[in-house]
Amino acid sequence: MTTAPTTAPVSAPTSATRSVLVVGGGAAGNAVTVLLRRAGIAVDLIEAADDWNATAGSGITLQGNALRVLRELGVWEQVRASGYGFDAVGITAPDGTVLHVAEDVRTGGDDLPATVGMQRPRLQSILIDAVRASGARIRLGTRAESLDQDGNGNRDRDGVTVRFTDGTVGRYDLVVAADGLGSATRSAIGITDKPEPTGMAIWRVAAPRPAGVTRTDLAYGGPAYIAGYCPTSDSTLYAYVVEAGRDRAAIPRESYADEMRGLAAAYGGCWPEITEHITDPAKVNYTWFDRMLVEGSWHRGRVVLVGDAAHCCPPTLAQGAALSLEDAWVLARMLTSADVWDGALLQAYYERRIARVRPVVEASVRIGQWQLDGDRDADVPGLMGRTMSALRELP
């Protein structure tokens, strides 16, 4: 992929004539598509996967500030009906003894639950339906092969010419890169930041929900750094075990269930009932914890980053999806309320978001590092409380 970036203005006379390409059909890409279409902007969404829902994963924890954006998208009632809402988190000993139960901060406001857990494929399905209903043009199994930006961009109809892998060509006023951690668009526009491993990794699996699981419980200690679970519906949950990062290539895929079950078997409480369902290696997921925060700006000319393409952090605060959805909401609001799309507008988007995203990324990484270092004096509850309380404010 090649590009000729520029920092000159992008402008168009009316929203009805503006066109946007969204690269990536995950949460951020789907959200920004729905919001821009609602304002009458023409949107093409491309997704590299042939099956839009193929890599949706096991489960997801949605904090209140994520729910606030989902409500803006008009899908909150479906999310509420499909997931499992709760307002507390439990801390347990490895044997399952409950040590402390804390009320979660309602980061989306008092009229939304603090947290909803749900099956990630179900969330993706809800967002896909919203994108289809928005009237966006959707192209699956398609990538952007090259991005060519016009001269100095000062003319009203200057834009980005995109050549696609299917041989077609399109022209857009703006390209929104929502293509995730390994964003090809990010590197194509000359941003060299890449995700870096933090030293931890996580095993995840979906399983039936024991009747006693009505909130997230986290066990610290034992053979893993963290063993936790989150209810995702009346009948399901997803469970996870966090350990030191290992060479993924050295772990045979067919051993995934055995690896996770071996770690989970050391935990008590509801874990024995969960562990007996960790049998199919195809249903177990193993990923590293990564961190990345693009500094300075999230755009080059008429191409702008959202979500994991711009930032990522360990899920120690469960804020990944929330921050990505907030990016989409803020960018869409700024674009749809502006008469001119230019570098100043996109820089203002970055400055508005970086002030909110940086503390979350730094806190998420710090909590994990405290565990890696075995710091028994670390104020994990205090840092979590301060960070989450700040997220109650509108982004």
Looking up residue 283, the CATH number of its domain turns out to be: 3.30.9.30
347 with 379, same domain: the answer is yes
221 with 332, same domain: the answer is no
Structure tokens at 269: 């409480």
> Over the range 23-62, which residues count as b (16 or more CB within 10 Å of their CB) and which as e?
bbbbbbbbbbbbbbbeeebbbbbbbbeeebeeebebbbbb
Rounded Cα distance between 61 and 314, Å, is 13
Structure tokens at 261: 């079950």
Rounded Cα distance between 306 and 326, Å, is 9
217 with 364, same domain: the answer is no
- The answer to whether the beta carbons of residues 36 and 332 sit under 8 Å apart is yes
Backbone angles phi, psi at 309, to 5 degrees: -65, -25
Rounded Cα distance between 297 and 310, Å, is 9
385 located within any domain: yes
Rounded Cα distance between 393 and 395, Å, is 6
167 with 53, same domain: the answer is yes
**pTM for this model (two decimals):** 0.93
189 with 331, same domain: the answer is yes
173 with 222, same domain: the answer is no
**Final residue before a domain boundary, out of 246, 267, 290:** 290
List, as one string, the DSSP characters of 201-241: EEEEEEEEPPTT--SEEEEESTTSSEEEEEE-SSSEEEEEE
pLDDT in tens, 254-286: 999 999 999 999 999 999 999 999 999 999 999
Closest residue by Cα to residue 40 from 11, 19, 22: 19
Q: Using the structure block, give the residue that is written with the tokens 């960070």.
A: 387
355 with 259, same domain: the answer is no
Alpha helices in 73-119 (DSSP H): 76-82
Tell me, what's the pLDDT at 177? 98
pLDDT in tens, 34-79: 999 999 999 999 999 998 875 557 899 999 999 999 999 999 999 9
Inter-CA distances, 3 with 23, 43, 147, 335, 379, Å: 15, 21, 5, 22, 46
157 with 259, same domain: the answer is no
**Final residue before a domain boundary, out of 236, 261, 290:** 290
- Domain containing 75 equals 10-79+121-194+298-390
Number of structural domains in the chain: 2
Chain mean pLDDT for the chain: 92
Q: Side chain identity at 368, as an amino acid letter?
A: G
252 with 272, same domain: the answer is yes
Write the CB contacts of 77 (distance below 8 Å, at least 6 apart in sequence). none
Residues of the chain with pLDDT under 50: 2-14, 152-155
Burial grade of 7 (CB within 10 A; 0-12, 13-18, 19 or more): middle
pLDDT in tens, 174-187: 999 999 999 999 99
75 with 155, same domain: the answer is yes
Tell me, what's the pLDDT at 153? 42
**Final residue before a domain boundary, out of 263, 290, 317:** 290
Please count the other Cβ atoms lying within 10 Å of the Cβ belonging to residue 232: 27
